[in-house]
Amino acid sequence: MRVPLPPYAYVPGRTPRHDEGRWDEVRATVKLGMDADELAASPAFTAGMAFFENGYFWEAHEVWEAVWMACPPNSAEHRFVQALIQLANAELKLAMEKPRAALRLCAIAAAHLDEAASGGAANLCGVRVAWVGDRLGACRCRITKLRENAL
């Protein structure tokens, strides 16, 4: 199942919210009991990655939530997907020009990423842990620039 990008990214206060249930079909591709490889290959996870990489942060969070809920509790994958979700939330807050909230969410994402990587895995869910760390750093840099420009 290939999930196309929506016609616009939802940004609260700026663009209309997508129809309720828009992502139900893709979320339904994730089932409890799937192993880490199955979760990483699921349309929900891969759509979330495509959404995130193309600036659809709310949409990424929406589909990744199903993956997170299907991950075994306290697993590295559970924490890793939570880090991705919080990073998407941080990026969304940054798009909404709410740097304080974005910075707080970056800290939460970093804590989840540190927990996920504590076992030494270089890749989780088919994604390099370092890539997520780099994205966190880039988000923090944009927050700093936004704050500097506001002064």
Q: Could you count the other beta carbons within 10 Å of the beta carbon of residue 128?
A: 12
46-70 pLDDT, tens per residue? 999 999 999 999 999 999 999 999 9
Which of these, 46, 40, 54, lies nearest to 6 by C-alpha position? 54
How is the chain split into domains, by residue range? 24-150
Q: What is the CATH number of domain 24-150?
A: 1.10.3450.10
Q: How confident is the model at residue 151 (pLDDT cuts 50, 70, 90)?
A: low
- Residue 30, pLDDT > 90, answer yes
% of the chain residues with pLDDT over 70 = 99
